[in-house]
């Protein structure tokens, strides 16, 4: 990081726009040599601070930026700018008036505390949302910039009235040290930047080039010009790694090696179990945990909470189709929604299964505001992952990067040490048993290819394929990678837009189905061989035994063969000749005579097969006589 400088991240063309407006309004004073005075420079920097704040959040906290915008707490901002409330509001109003930023929401809570923590959220207008950005090096003789350098606001609580605890600076300092000394990028990233922006590697590292906003995080790692923050002791750490898209993590290196990730399976549900039990124990000292609360923990440990809720809500098909969608349904419908006397379906299902857990979460929300539950979960995660696990790793001299409820290492040996610490920490301090998963990356493709659609590049990287065409069919589904849509191969089917995660998951599912069908062998057996076959359903076996018992043995020379198609328990059983045939499987009983199929209830199916066999025998005899 550039220690002696202070820089703003700014959209291209913004300074010129502000200077022109302030000059026209007589607010920007100039010397006789037509240079801005110190007071004028100070005012300019105060104006620049607001868009810099928005851009920092857009780049490093993109999810929250897109969902809610950037919260501007006027009480805090006016103190940073050393301006009155009216003067601070005038700057924000100016940006709205000239069409640079827009109001998204009025009054949301930033953290635990009183209603004085309410504020408004903003983001850039469409016109300014995707312009190139660059690092503006602020002159250090500006009194405002000197104050920013001396006072690190990023580590202070959001409000003086917020009860948020002081952050552990040792964790932040450690992560900053690792990023500066040991974190790098795959060579393909440097190639991408030098080709796209027509600069050398040296110019890239030392210069202040203007880059697309989506490239800025990698650019900040190249230049070692970034911030790592933990706003308070209850919050997460925010670093370049937390802002990089999942599909791009493969380009990050630690000590020259690709990252190896360690995640807790179903972490949020485990954290919710810990939070609920802690609240109950602190509220009802000495009282045993209710049975449903213990059951909730056991399901969280087994990773079966969503399944039980889906069964209770009769949403099993949704869970099977998209587990992530059902998880988001729980989060939006109960975890992170306001308390209400009228319960929606998922709340009803949750309360019916886990009444004590439901009441505890409702009580936590009611103790302050509805997002108290979200903050409680984050606090539990923060204590475990940062204050306990990260500290032990640092004490053992293990290099790692923190990513919320996950950890990243450079060697499998370091990961195994981290895994042991993590498992023990959750058990000893949270009372839960955890399951972990390891995430390893293949050697990445080129970071980007000239003229190629971004979605195609993303898909090829994640699916580990090279596409000939962006539109293709897998199993019974057509995929359009450029548009991220899918269309079923059926009459009247319409294209449906998917998220990247949904698109990749569906592709992998359909690819597995297609592979399974390709690998499936069709076995042909005679009636005599049939007796030795092991079938998935004893019921079906018994039906065909009845045929044999009645003396209607299928002659391999006439009605000759059985075809058994085994699709992983979704099997079908065919028999017949060119004249008649019958099909039976788990779901359907059908028989055909001279090409016309009819579906039968099970109780009529066996007699019908017997009748079909008789007809077949008579027909064959008639043909033989002729």
The pLDDT tens digits of the residues spanning 195-223 come to 889 999 888 887 778 999 889 999 999 98
Q: Are 360 and 276 in contact (CB under 8 A)?
A: yes
pLDDT of the residue at 612:
55
pLDDT of the residue at 12:
93
pLDDT of the residue at 75:
82
362-378 mean pLDDT: 84
Q: Is the pLDDT of residue 146 over 90?
A: no
pLDDT of the residue at 384:
96
Q: Are 144 and 11 in contact (CB under 8 A)?
A: no
Ranked by mean pLDDT, the top range of 156-165, 437-446, 593-602 is 437-446
Q: Are 126 and 79 in contact (CB under 8 A)?
A: no
Q: Is the pLDDT of residue 569 over 70?
A: no
In tens, the pLDDT along 521-562 reads 434 333 334 333 333 334 444 555 555 555 544 443 333 333
**Adjacency order of strands within the sheet including 436-440:** 401-403, 406-409, 260-264, 436-440
What's the pLDDT band for 154 if we cut at 50, 70, 90? very low
Candidates 196, 109, 193; CA nearest to 159 is 109
What's the pLDDT band for 448 if we cut at 50, 70, 90? low
Is this structure's pTM higher than 0.75? no
Q: Is the pLDDT of residue 15 over 70?
A: yes
What's the pLDDT band for 409 if we cut at 50, 70, 90? very high
What's the pLDDT band for 589 if we cut at 50, 70, 90? very low
In tens, the pLDDT along 65-117 reads 887 888 888 888 888 898 998 899 899 999 999 999 999 877 544 444 434 45
* Average model confidence (pLDDT) across the chain: 78
Give the C-alpha separation, 385 to 533, whole Å.
54
Give the C-alpha separation, 328 to 222, whole Å.
35
Q: Is the pLDDT of residue 49 over 90?
A: yes
Give the C-alpha separation, 300 to 306, whole Å.
9
pLDDT of the residue at 594:
38
Give the C-alpha separation, 31 to 40, whole Å.
10
267-273 mean pLDDT: 95
370-374 mean pLDDT: 80
pLDDT of the residue at 623:
45
**What residues contact residue 555 under an 8 Å CB cut-off, 6+ apart?**
527
Higher-scoring residue by pLDDT: 11, 21: 11
Q: Are 135 and 142 in contact (CB under 8 A)?
A: no
What's the pLDDT band for 462 if we cut at 50, 70, 90? confident
Q: Is the pLDDT of residue 332 over 70?
A: yes
Percent of the chain at pLDDT exceeding 70? 74
pLDDT of the residue at 626:
41
pLDDT of the residue at 414:
96
DSSP sequence for 100-142: SEEEEEEEEE-SSS-GGGEEEEEEE-HHHHTS-EEEEEE-TT-
Q: Are 212 and 55 in contact (CB under 8 A)?
A: no
Q: Is the pLDDT of residue 591 over 70?
A: no
Q: Write the CA distances from 250 to 135, 171, 181, 186, 402, integer angstroms.
A: 26, 24, 19, 8, 15
pLDDT of the residue at 588:
44
Quick one: three-class SS letters along 300-334? Answer: HHHCCHHHHHHHHHCCHHHHHHCHHHHHHHHHHHH
What's the pLDDT band for 39 if we cut at 50, 70, 90? confident
pLDDT of the residue at 475:
84
pLDDT of the residue at 230:
86
In tens, the pLDDT along 425-440 reads 999 999 999 999 999 8
Lowest pLDDT segment from 90-94, 215-219, 319-323, 482-486: 319-323
pLDDT of the residue at 370:
58
pLDDT of the residue at 277:
96
What's the pLDDT band for 386 if we cut at 50, 70, 90? very high
Candidates 364, 382, 372; CA nearest to 280 is 364
pLDDT of the residue at 205:
84
pLDDT of the residue at 210:
92
Task: Tokens 């009748």: give the residue.
Answer: 611
* φ, ψ of residue 483 in degrees (nearest 5): -95, -10
What's the pLDDT band for 293 if we cut at 50, 70, 90? very high
Q: Is the pLDDT of residue 278 over 90?
A: yes
Q: Where are the alpha helices (DSSP H) in 303-437?
A: 305-313, 316-321, 323-330, 345-353, 355-366, 372-382, 391-395, 412-430
């Amino acid at each position: 990081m550039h220690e002696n400088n202070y820089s703003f991240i700014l959209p291209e063309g913004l300074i010129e726009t502000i200077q022109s407006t302030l000059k026209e309004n007589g607010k920007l004073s100039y010397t006789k040599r037509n240079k801005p005075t110190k007071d004028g420079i100070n005012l300019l920097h105060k104006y620049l601070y607001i868009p810099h704040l928005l851009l920092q959040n857009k780049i490093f906290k993109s999810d929250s930026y897109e969902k809610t915008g950037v919260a501007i707490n006027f009480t805090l901002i006016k103190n940073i700018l050393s301006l009155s409330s009216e003067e601070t509001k005038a700057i924000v109003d100016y940006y709205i008036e000239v069409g640079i930023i827009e109001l998204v929401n009025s009054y949301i809570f930033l953290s635990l505390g009183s209603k004085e923590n309410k504020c408004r959220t903003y983001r850039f207008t469409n016109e300014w949302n995707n312009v190139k950005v660059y690092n503006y090096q602020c002159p250090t003789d500006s009194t405002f910039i000197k104050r920013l350098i001396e006072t690190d606001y990023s580590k202070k609580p959001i409000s003086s009235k917020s009860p948020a605890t002081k952050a552990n600076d040792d964790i932040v300092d450690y992560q900053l040290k690792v990023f500066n000394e040991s974190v790098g990028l795959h060579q393909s990233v440097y190639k991408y930047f030098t080709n796209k922006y027509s600069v050398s590697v040296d110019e890239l590292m030392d210069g202040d080039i203007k880059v697309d906003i989506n490239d800025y995080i990698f650019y900040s790692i190249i230049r070692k010009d970034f911030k790592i923050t933990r706003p308070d002791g209850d919050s997460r750490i925010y670093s370049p790694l937390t802002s990089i898209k999942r599909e791009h993590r493969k380009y990050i290196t630690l000590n020259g090696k690709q990252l190896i990730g360690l995640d807790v399976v179903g972490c949020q549900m485990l954290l919710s179990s810990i939070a609920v039990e802690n609240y109950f124990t602190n509220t009802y000292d000495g009282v045993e945990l209710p049975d449903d609360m213990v059951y909730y923990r056991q399901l969280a440990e087994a990773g079966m909470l969503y399944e039980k809720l889906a069964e209770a809500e009769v949403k099993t098909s949704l869970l099977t189709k998209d587990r992530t969608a059902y998880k988001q349904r729980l989060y939006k419908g109960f975890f992170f929604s306001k308390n209400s006397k009228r319960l929606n379906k998922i709340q009803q299902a949750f309360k019916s299964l886990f009444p004590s857990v439901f009441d505890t979460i409702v009580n936590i929300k009611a103790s302050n505001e509805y997002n108290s539950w979200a903050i409680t979960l984050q606090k539990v995660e923060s204590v475990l992952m940062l204050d306990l696990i990260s500290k032990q790793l640092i004490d053992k001299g293990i290099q790692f990067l923190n990513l919320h409820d996950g950890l990243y290492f450079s060697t499998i040996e370091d990961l195994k040490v981290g895994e042991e610490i993590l498992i023990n920490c959750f058990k000893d301090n949270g009372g839960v048993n955890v399951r972990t998963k390891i995430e390893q990356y293949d050697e990445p493709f080129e970071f980007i290819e000239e003229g190629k659609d971004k979605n195609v590049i993303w898909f090829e990287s994640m699916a580990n394929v090279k596409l000939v065409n962006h539109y293709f069919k897998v199993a019974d589904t057509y995929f359009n990678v450029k548009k991220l849509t899918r269309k079923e191969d059926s009459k009247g089917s319409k294209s449906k837009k998917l998220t990247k995660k949904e698109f990749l998951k569906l592709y992998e599912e359909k690819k597995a189905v297609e592979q399974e069908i390709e690998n499936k062998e069709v076995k042909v057996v005679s009636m005599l061989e049939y007796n030795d076959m092991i079938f998935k359903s004893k019921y079906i076996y018994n039906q065909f035994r009845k045929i044999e018992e009645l003396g209607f043995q299928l002659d391999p020379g006439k009605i000759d063969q059985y075809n058994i198609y085994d699709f992983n328990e979704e099997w079908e059983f065919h028999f017949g000749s060119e004249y008649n045939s019958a099909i039976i499987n788990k779901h359907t009983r059908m028989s055909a005579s001279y090409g016309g199929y009819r579906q039968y209830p099970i109780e009529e199916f066996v007699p019908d097969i017997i009748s079909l066999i008789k007809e077949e025998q008579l027909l064959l005899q008639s043909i033989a006589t002729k």
